Amino acid sequence: MGPRRWLLLWCLHAALLLGGAQRPPASPPPGVPTSEPGASRDAEGSAAALAFLRSGDAQRLARANCSRGVAAGAPGPGPPPALRAALRAAPEALAQAANFLNMLFQSNDIREASVAEDVEWYQALVRSLAEGHPWVRRAVLALDAHPLAAKPRLMLQATAGDGEIRLRDVSAAAPGLGNRSWDNEWFNALRSQRSPQLRKRVLSNDLRSMETPKWQRGDSYVGEPGHVRWSPPFLECRDGKFLPAWAVTLSSAFYGLKPDLSPEFKGVVRVDIELRDVGIDQCARGPGWFAGTHRCDLNSTQCVPQESRGFVLGQYVCRCKPGFYGAGGVAIGTGAGVAGSPVPVDGGPRLACRPCREGCATCVDDTPCLIQEDRALRAAVLSCQAFCMLAVFLSMLVSYHFRRSKRIRASGVVLLETILFGSLLLYFPVFILYFKPSIFRCIVLRWVRMLGFATVYGTIALKLYRVLRVFLARTAQRVPYMSSGRVLKMLGLILLLVLWFLAAWTVGMLENIDKNIPLVIRTQTTRGLHFYICGHDRWDYMMVVAEMLFLLWGSSLCYATRAVPSAFHEPRYMGIALHNELMISAAFHVARFVMVPSLHPDWTLLLFFAHTHSTVTMTLALLFIPKFLHASSPLREEIAAEVYEDELDMRRSGSCLNSSIASAWSERSLDPDDIRVGGTLRTFF
């Protein structure tokens, strides 16, 4: 062939290439798929498709015109796992069809030259794909042609609908698949793969009775369902109108073999599947279309998908988390509509719920859940309590200053100081209740109450017992006298018993805390306002019973010493204090266990404040006011009926004591019942 002929052929070849590149794409006939994802230039169609994606209104979509299909700009690398599971049969059938073509083309290198002879095989395959899944809209088989050709070698389309499968050969009318446009992405994306995802298989032939195989062993490449390509959801335009159903395209390539036995692209099989009964889960996490595209503020809300109404956005509710509230329990933003309705998909700020008031585990509005304390009232109570404690401390100093006064000496300055110290402990519960309850404060509350009670009323009871011991015998002979040191030793035994009880209680409470049994409990008033208090259990009832029994024992001592003569009337005052504590504490503990669990903390503080001053303050007033009023006044000789502890501790002569006792018994004597009570108490100790 001469040079002129080569030049002529080259010019002809260049003209064909130029003409093919400048040829405008032909308009596809009705039914030809043109709905692959791409940047649509149809403004009206794009707006209608976006509105349909947001609302699912098919009537509004039917009024819109279109010139081409529109794909949803679905963010995400691929379909969500739920959609893959729902359409699992379709990718499997498509992968099997592609593998059938792989085997067909890889086993015979001249198969593609006889397309016209084998077209019935391809037609049957396309029909089977269209029938493979009830949601399949169409199935397509496209055989690749020469890269310079404008049309595919063969393109078959089977459309399912109305109980029939319509098969068409659209090779002549189909647009050029070589055109690098988004409409042909399903084909070109697979053809341009440099390293297709295939598995190599070794094929062995042992067909001696048949002469068709020309080789006994060879290589083959097959694909898997996971390698099927998914397109984004799209709306198909047909006859100028959108079909009112979103669809996806599944495509898989099939390959032949090159002379070097490497895979060679031969074509693509494709199915379009309608998304029926498939919703969009914008609350899902991880990969998938529209996953994580909700507008819920995850700090205060939880995205909850609603019942699916089709492939529509906004089918979720931003439900408020515990500790937050919104209208109807959901976060509602501007234009969100009625509570509980789907969230609008328009761009905007995150939908958040408002935090509940402090202490509210759940709430429906901004109503406070915790009680509101009256700070002025509580400050006044605390100030008054602090003043009383200061007065008690000053009383300790005054008692020590007048320790040589006969009225102070008659009772014993050490025992009086002990009573004052115990009263300080009994004043502390009001201070503790001023603050919010805690495990430490609840433990300290029991300790100061029990130790203070045992110190104050234990000392008073022992003083009464000492008075009874002094005047126990009817004779003037001196009986063994209980000094302050011995009284303190007996008080120490009582305190030791109390300490053992409190230690056991504390250990039990700490073990309960380890078992998630709270010491500080949450309760509420009759109006539903919550607050925290120190919980009560059987240990508290045991403490109250012990207090009442101790006071009853003190009451029996008061009854036994009712006939003891005294110029200062101290046993009488101590008896009044014990009975006052017995009656008021009984009423207080009943109110404490019945009313306090639902009583406002301010009223609880006032209740403890009133109980403290009606018992402890009253006791101190009965014991100390008469002494302080006459601490420095001259005394007459008739007060010799009292015994001074400092004189007894110095072991002075008993003559004066005997004479004083004799003079006392000359005026009044004890009843036999008093003697029996005293003997019983002496046996007890």
The pLDDT tens digits of the residues spanning 137-171 come to 899 998 876 655 556 678 889 988 777 888 888 87
Q: Residue 363: inside a domain, yes or no? A: no
SS3 of residue 170 by DSSP: coil
Q: Which one of 274, 306, 340 terminates a domain?
A: 274
When divided into structural domains, the chain yields a total of: 2
* Token couple for 600: 């406002």
pLDDT of residue 684: 38
The Cβ-side half-sphere exposure at 545, using a 13 Å CA radius, reads 5
Low-confidence winner among 195-204, 369-378, 411-420 (lowest mean pLDDT): 195-204
pLDDT of residue 599: 85
Phi, psi values for residue 147, rounded to 5°: -55, -25
Residues 183/27, Cβ–Cβ less than 8 Å: no
Residue, of 551 and 338, whose pLDDT is higher: 551
User: How many CB atoms neighbour CB 41 within 10 A?
Assistant: 9
Q: Crossing angle of helices 413-434/375-401, nearest 10°? A: 170
Q: Residue 453: inside a domain, yes or no? A: yes
Residue, of 12 and 569, whose pLDDT is higher: 569
Q: What is the CATH number of the domain that holds 405?
A: 1.20.1070.10
494 and 623 housed in the same domain: yes
pLDDT of residue 419: 92
User: How many CB atoms neighbour CB 206 within 10 A?
Assistant: 7
pLDDT of residue 288: 81
Q: Residue 17: inside a domain, yes or no? A: no
pLDDT of residue 486: 85
- Dihedral, CA atoms, 385, 388, 394, 398, nearest 10 degrees? -160
- As a whole number, mean pLDDT of residues 320-348 equals 59
pLDDT of residue 572: 85
pLDDT of residue 114: 66
CB neighbour list of residue 99: distance below 8 Å, 6 or more residues apart: 222, 223, 254
656 and 542 housed in the same domain: yes
> In which band, very low, low, confident or very high, does the pLDDT at 113 lie, cut at 50, 70 and 90?
low
pLDDT of residue 641: 39
**Distance (Å, rounded) from C-alpha 63 to C-alpha 646?**
114
pLDDT of residue 13: 39
The Cβ-side half-sphere exposure at 630, using a 13 Å CA radius, reads 12
Q: Residue 369: inside a domain, yes or no? A: no
Mean pLDDT, rounded, of the chain: 76
pTM for the structure as a whole: 0.58
**Distance (Å, rounded) from C-alpha 21 to C-alpha 226?**
35
> In which band, very low, low, confident or very high, does the pLDDT at 497 lie, cut at 50, 70 and 90?
very high
CB neighbour list of residue 432: distance below 8 Å, 6 or more residues apart: 441, 444, 445, 448
pLDDT of residue 259: 79
Residue, of 200 and 677, whose pLDDT is higher: 200
Helix (H) or strand (E) holding 97: helix 89-107
Residue 308 has pLDDT above 90, yes or no: no
SS3 of residue 430 by DSSP: helix
Residue 22 has pLDDT above 70, yes or no: no
SS3 content of the chain, % helix, strand, coil (to 5): 50, 15, 40
pLDDT of residue 54: 86
Q: Residue 568: inside a domain, yes or no? A: yes
> In which band, very low, low, confident or very high, does the pLDDT at 176 lie, cut at 50, 70 and 90?
low
pLDDT of residue 307: 78
* Token couple for 162: 């109305």
> In which band, very low, low, confident or very high, does the pLDDT at 444 lie, cut at 50, 70 and 90?
very high
Q: Which one of 235, 259, 274 terminates a domain?
A: 274
107 and 251 housed in the same domain: yes
pLDDT of residue 423: 94
Q: Which one of 227, 244, 274 terminates a domain?
A: 274
* Domain membership of residue 442 as a residue range: 375-631+650-677
Residues 136/159, Cβ–Cβ less than 8 Å: no
pLDDT of residue 653: 37
Residue 231 has pLDDT above 60, yes or no: yes
- As a whole number, mean pLDDT of residues 536-545 equals 90
pLDDT of residue 586: 93
Q: Residue 12: inside a domain, yes or no? A: no
Q: Residue 332: inside a domain, yes or no? A: no
pLDDT of residue 665: 36
- As a whole number, mean pLDDT of residues 117-134 equals 85
Question: Percent of the chain scored above 90 by pLDDT?
Answer: 21
- Tens digits of per-residue pLDDT, 641-668? 344 444 444 443 343 334 333 333 333 4
235 and 381 housed in the same domain: no
Q: Residue 125: inside a domain, yes or no? A: yes
242 and 384 housed in the same domain: no
pLDDT of residue 104: 80
Q: How far is CA 348 from the centre of its chain?
A: 27
**Distance (Å, rounded) from C-alpha 66 to C-alpha 240?**
5
- As a whole number, mean pLDDT of residues 80-85 equals 83
- As a whole number, mean pLDDT of residues 74-90 equals 81
